[in-house]
Amino acid sequence: MADSEISINSLSGKQFEYMQLIAEIMEIRKRGEKPVAFIRTYGCQQNVADSEKIKGMLAQSGFEFSDSPENADFILFNTCAVREHAEDRVFGNVGALKNIKRKHPQILIALCGCMMEQEHIANKIYKSFPFVGLVFGTHSLHHFPELMYNSLVNGKRVFERGNDDNKLYEGFPIRRDGSFKGWLPIMYGCNNFCTYCIVPYVRGRERSRDKQIILEEAAAMINNGYKDITLLGQNVNSYGKNLEGGVNFAQLLREIDSIDGDYWLRFMTSHPKDCSKELIDTMAKGTHISRHLHLPFQSGSDRVLKEMNRHYDRKRYLEIVNYAKEKIDGLSLTSDIIVGFPGETYDDFKQTLSLIKEVGFTSLFTFIYSPRVGTPAAEMDDPVPASEKSKWFQELLQVQEEIAAKRCADMVGSTQKVLIEGKTGKNNELSGRTSGNIVVELDAPESTIGTFQNVTITKARNWILKGKIENINNGGI
C-alpha cells in the first residue's frame, strides 16, 4: 500500500441484501405498484456522479424515477455547501416539502451530500425540519441502502455523518442520467485546503481510484455509446498520488485515449499548481481529448493567491497557459474566479481584470466570495462592503462578455465538429457543443441528437454560436 494508506473496498453484499429488503417493503406498501423516487442534485458534477450511484441503488431496490416530488414515495436532495447561496436554496426548497409530507405522511424525505457533512447544518435540519427522516453525508454512500432500510422500518429519524477518509468504495450500481454524455469520477476528496473552500472538510482527503477499474469503466461507457466522457476530480492533476506504481494523470489520460471509438474525453478540474507540460503534451497529441482546458486561477493578484493558499503565482499560471496555447490548436480556456476575497483591494481586482484580458477565456465561472464556517478565510478581516464587491463583479462580467463575444465572432465561417445534445426549447432548434465546450445552436432533425456533426458557424451572439449542418452525418466523423 502507498504512503497515505487508502484502502479500496467493494460495496458489501449486505448492502445488496438491504436493497432487496427495501424492494420487498415497498412492494407491500405500494400493493405491487412500482415505488417512485424524486432526486434533486445541487452543486458540482461530483454530486451528479454521486446521485447516479444513489439512483443505481434505488433502481436495484425497485424504484422508478419522477421529475416531480408530488407523487414520490422517496424524496432526496443531494446538497452543495460551496457558497451560502447554494445552502439557502436547499433550505428554501426543503421547507417547501413540509406540505407534501403533510399530505402523504408515508413519504420518506432525505437529505445527503456536502452540506450534511457539516455539524451545524445537520443540527439545524434536526431542529427546524422534523419531517426530514434521513440525513447522511458524502462519506456514507456505501451504506445508503442500510440507512434507508432503517428509516423505513423503524420510523425513527436516521442522521449520519461519516469520516471514512482512508476508504474508497467500488462496485456501486450506477444509473447514469445521460445516454451519450457521462461523468466518470477518477478520484474523490481534496487535500489542497484553499483558505476559502469548504470542499476538503466535506469531501475528505484525496483518494484516487484504481487505474484498471477506471479503464474498464471508460471502455464500458464507450462500448455503450457514450460520446462525451468527463473525468472528474477536485484536482485531477494529482491523480495517482495515493496509488502504487507511480501512475499520474497524464498517463491515465493517454491510456483511456488509446481505447478505440468515436468519443470525446474531457476532464475537470485541473489545479494550476499541478498542471504539467506532460499533461499539455498529452492533450496536444491525443486522439479523443477535447481541446478544452478548465484551469481555475481564482485571482490575478499574487498577494491574494498567497492568502488563498493556491501555491502558484500569476507568472506560473501564464507560463502554463501560454505553453498550452502554443501546443494545442484552437484551445478553449475556461476558469473560475472569486471576487471580493477578504482583504482584496480594487488594485488586486484590477489584476484579475488584466489577467482575463491577457488570456482571452472562452467563458468564466465567476463568484462573489462567500464565507464558509470552519475555513481560515472566514476568520480574516473583510472590510470591503458587499455593494462594492457587487460593482467589481459587474465590471468583471462586462469585460468578459466582450472577450467571449470577440472569441466567438472569430469562429464565424469555420467548420466545427459538434456533439448535438438536445433541444433548446425554441421552435425546432437544437443545441450542441464544440470540442472546446462552446454552445452552438442550429436547426437540425431530432434524430441528430447524440451524434457528432460537422457544423459551419454562421453567426455569433455573445458567447453562443449559431451554425448549420451542410450534410447530415450518419456514421462517425
Strand order in the sheet with 228-232: 181-185, 228-232, 264-268
Which three-class secondary structure state does DSSP give residue 302?
helix
Q: Residue 334 binds what, of ligand SAH, ligand SF4, ligand F3S, none (CB under 5 to 8 Å, by partner type)?
A: none
Which residue, 294 or 314, has its beta carbon nearer to ligand F3S? 294
Closest separation in Å from C-beta 92 to ligand SAH: 19
CB nearer to ligand SF4: give 171 or 376: 376
Identify whether the C-beta of residue 380 lies closer than 8 Å to the C-beta of residue 342. Answer: yes
**Rounded distance between C-alpha atoms, residue 226 and residue 176, angstroms:** 11
CA distance 446 to 469: 13
Q: Assess contact for 10 and 170: CB atoms under 8 A.
A: yes
User: Which residues make up the interface to ligand SAH (CB under 6 A)?
Assistant: 82-83, 196-197, 199, 234-235, 269, 271, 296, 298, 336, 338, 367, 369-370, 372
List the single partner that 434 binds among ligand SF4, ligand F3S, ligand SAH, none, CB under 5 to 8 Å by kind.
none
Q: Output phi, psi for 435, to 5 deg.
A: -60, -35
Q: Which residues bind ligand SF4 (CB under 6 A)?
A: 190, 192-194, 197, 199-200, 234-235, 271
- C-alpha angle with apex 265: 366 to 360, nearest 5 degrees? 35
Q: How far is the CB of 109 from ligand F3S (least distance, A)?
A: 20
In the chain, the amino acid numbered 51 is S
Residue 271 vs 291, nearer CB to ligand SF4:
271
Among ligand SAH, ligand SF4, ligand F3S, none, the one that 193 touches (CB under a kind-dependent 5 to 8 A) is ligand SF4
Which CB sits closer to ligand SF4, 110 or 190? 190
The entry of ligand SAH, ligand SF4, ligand F3S, none that residue 360 binds, CB within 5 to 8 Å by partner kind: none
Q: Which CB atom, from 91 or from 367, has the smaller least distance to ligand SAH? A: 367
The Cα–Cα gap between 47 and 10 comes to 20
Output the residue with the shortest Cβ distance to ligand F3S: 43
Using N-to-C axis directions, what is the helix angle for 144-154 and 13-29, rounded to 10°?
Answer: 40
- Residue 399 grid coordinates: 469585460
At its nearest, how many Å lie between ligand SF4 and the CB of residue 235? 5
In angstroms, what is the minimal distance from the CB of 110 to ligand SAH? 24
Cell of 384: 470591503
Q: Which residue is nearest to ligand SAH (CB)?
A: 336
* Residue with grid cell 474498464, as numbered in its chain: 216
Q: Closer CB to ligand F3S, residue 65 or residue 367?
A: 367
Site of grid cell 451554425:
467
> C-beta of 300: minimal distance to ligand SF4 in Å?
16
Non-local CB neighbours of 152 within 8 Å, separated by 6+ positions: 22, 25, 108
**Smallest distance, ligand SF4 to C-beta of residue 375, A:** 9
Q: Between vectors from CA 40 to CA 121 and to CA 34, what angle results, nearest 5°?
A: 120
Using the CB atoms, write b or e for 186-202: b if 16+ within 10 Å: bbbbbebebbbbbbbbb
Residue 372: name its binding partner from ligand F3S, ligand SAH, ligand SF4, none (Cβ under 5 to 8 Å by kind). Answer: ligand SAH
Which option in ligand SAH, ligand SF4, ligand F3S, none does residue 46 bind, with CB closer than 5 to 8 A by kind? ligand F3S
**CB of 374: closest distance to ligand SF4 in angstroms?**
13
338 interface partner picked from ligand SAH, ligand F3S, ligand SF4, none, CB below 5 to 8 A per type: ligand SAH
Residue 80 or 214: which CB sits closer to ligand F3S?
80
Q: Phi, psi at residue 99, to the nearest 5°? A: -65, -40
Residues 274 and 312: their CA atoms lie apart, in Å, by 9
Q: How far is the CB of 194 from ligand SF4 (least distance, A)?
A: 3
Given ligand SAH, ligand F3S, ligand SF4, none, residue 437, with its beta carbon under 5 to 8 Å by kind, binds none
Shortest CA distance to 164 belongs to which of 134, 204, 200?
204
Least distance to ligand F3S, CB of residue 298, Å: 14
| Positions in the binding site for ligand F3S (CB under 6 A) | 43-44, 46-47, 80-82, 114, 198-199, 202-203
Q: With CB cut-offs between 5 and 8 Å by kind, which of ligand SAH, ligand F3S, ligand SF4, none does residue 114 bind? A: ligand F3S
Q: Which does 200 bind (CB under 5 to 8 A by kind): ligand F3S, ligand SAH, ligand SF4, none?
A: ligand SF4
- Of 41 and 234, which CB lies nearer to ligand SAH in the complex structure? 234
Please report, for residues 180, 284, 315, 436, the alpha-carbon distance to residue 294 in angstroms, rounded to integers and kept in the order given. Answer: 21, 15, 18, 10
Tell me whether residue 53 or residue 83 sits nearer to ligand SAH (CB atom): 83
Alpha-carbon span 443 to 89, nearest angstrom: 35
Helix axis angle for 314-327 and 346-359, nearest 10°, is 10
What is the Cα–Cα distance from 150 to 67, expressed in whole angstroms? 26
- Cα–Cα nearest to 293, from 322, 258, 259, 268: 268
Closest CA relative to residue 144, chosen from 270, 331, 19, 48: 19
Least CB distance from residue 201 to ligand F3S, whole Å? 9
Tell me whether residue 242 or residue 269 sits nearer to ligand SAH (CB atom). 269
Least distance from ligand F3S to the Cβ atom of residue 50, Å? 8
Instruction: Name the amino acid, one letter, at 451.
Output: T
